[in-house]
Amino acid sequence: MRTPSTSLDPGRGFVLAGMAVLCLLLLSGCNKERIGSTKPNQQPLETLTIGLISEQDIFKQVRRFEPLAEYLGLRLGMNVRLSVMPSYENALDTFVENNMDAAFFGSMTYILAHARLGVEIVARPVALDGTSTYYGVMIVRTDSKIRSAGDMKGTRLALVDKNALAGYIHPLAYFKKHGIEYHSYFKEIYFTGTHEDVVYDILDRKADVGALKSTIMFRLAAEDPKVASGLFIISRTPAIPENGLSVRSGLRASLKEKIRNVLLTMHEDPEGIKALRDFKAQKFIATTDSDYFAASSYIRELGIDIQAGQGAARP
């Protein structure tokens, strides 16, 4: 009667080794991830909707804000949803209609929203160059002969929106200063809807004079040298606080405080730093309504009634 052997027969060892190699090869073949594989379901979280004023191509803008929203969601333990407000003019309506909890308003739209909806500014970003402000600029092409208000007569004027401080209020102030009745002074006046499109329309010769915020122009200039070399600034405003995050009135204080804390400390967190890098900012700094005092005064000086009901401001 044969007893089982504990030692491995060389022949069997060879076969087993071959099978092991085969299995490894097969397993390595099976181990490839397939496109479209699904992730496990996550538990539903409370949603925080943040509106984005359309400074630029709204799709690019959403992509830029997504890392920030993701980080906020992670730290707040909430589902943070971004929602575009495509029109400055209708931003406040959109904010209300879409039940937004917070929004990155432009300076003008914040001043209006604060005054009319009671939103509260929480924090604003510091750009990579260390600034947390922008200024409105009036630009022409470098190869254009326009270098002053007088040169602008009969040209095409591209503005952003009537509720844009840099893209509308600033040129109004400029024209008022130079005694120009702009409605008849220009061959065409139109609104691009975004600061970015003002730049492109000037460069694409769709317009001759444009007004927008400096940060967008410089951001585009950093990406495309033709922007830097192709544009010439004719006028600029004093520094205005960069677009910050404002929360709606009535948002629970704890959440508001938490949002503030996350934003103000994210530059100390590796994941926050990564999100900030993708957002193209150094950090967030605390911002209050008083920071917009100069901007409010600038608007009032033009005779614009901030409290004048819903909709666009009318000069």
Partner 1 sequence: MKTKIIIFLLISTLLAIIGGAYLLIINERRIVDADHLILLHEVEIMRERLLIDILTVKSDLYSQGTRHPASTDAIVNDVSMMERTMKTCFECHHDEPVTAALHDLDDQLSHFSHAFSRILTMRKNAKRYDAEVERAHIIGDSLISKVNTMIILTNTALSARTERSLQSTQRTKVIMIVIVAAGPVMIAILGLTALAGFTKPISILLDATRKVKGGDLNIHTSGLRDEFAELGHAFDDMAFSLMEHTQKIQESEKRYRNLFESAADAIFVLSLEEQKVGNILQANPAAAEMHGYSVEELLTMNIRDLDSPDAAKGIPFRLERVLKGDWLRTQISHRRRDGSEFPVEVSAGVFEVGGQKYILALDRDITERKQAEDSLQRAQQIRIAGEMATGLAHEIKNPLAGIKATMEMFSHETYFPEEDRAILNKVIDEIKRIEYLMKSLLNFARPPKPHFVKTDVNAVLETVVGAVLKDPAFVRDEAHAIRLARNYGSRLPEASADPMQLQQLFMNLLLNAADAMPNGGTLTLETAHDLPSQMLRITISDTGTGIDDAIISNIFQPFFTTKAKGTGLGLAITKRLVEEQDGQISIVNRPGEGAQFIIKIPALQGGEVHP
The residues of the shown chain that bind partner 1, judged by CB under 8 A, are: 14, 18, 21-22, 25-26, 29, 32, 34-35, 54, 57-60, 62-63, 82-87, 89, 98, 161-162, 190-194, 197, 206
The nearest distance, CB 98 to partner 1, in angstroms, is: 8
Interatomic CA distance for residues 45 and 184, integer angstroms: 54
Measured CA angle at 32 (ends 28, 38), to 5 deg: 145
Q: Which is nearer to partner 1, 166 or 266 (CB)?
A: 166
Least Å distance, CB 136 to partner 1, is 18
By C-beta, is 162 or 170 nearer to partner 1? 162
Which residue, 26 or 308, is less far from partner 1 as judged by CB? Answer: 26
Q: Virtual CA dihedral for 224, 230, 234, 238, nearest 10 degrees?
A: 10
Whether 208 contacts 143, CB under 8 Å:
no
In the chain the first and final C-alpha atoms are separated, in Å, by 109
Give the 3-state secondary structure of residue 141: strand
Select 155 or 296, whichever has its Cβ closest to partner 1. 155
Select 65 or 292, whichever has its Cβ closest to partner 1: 65
Residue matched to tokens 């940060």: 215
Question: How many helices (H) and strands (E) in the chain?
Answer: 12, 13
**Beta carbons of 104 and 52 less than 8 angstroms apart:** yes
Listed in sequence order, the residues at least 6 apart from 135 whose beta carbon sits closer than 8 Å to its beta carbon are 166, 213, 214, 236, 237, 238, 239, 240
Find the shortest distance in angstroms from Cβ 20 to partner 1: 12
Of residues 59 and 270, the one with the C-beta less far from partner 1: 59
Residues 106 and 130: their CA atoms lie apart, in Å, by: 19
Least gap, CB of 124 to partner 1 (angstroms): 22
Smallest separation, CB 171 to partner 1 (Å)? 15
- 71 neighbors 102 (Cβ within 8 angstroms): no
CB of 37 to partner 1, least distance (A): 12
192 in Cβ contact with 116 (< 8 Å): no
Residue pair 177/170 in contact by the 8 Å Cβ criterion: no
Q: Which amino acid is at 53?
A: I
DSSP 205: T
**Please, what is the minimum distance in Å from the beta carbon of residue 63 to partner 1?**
8
State in angstroms the smallest separation of the CB of 89 from partner 1: 7
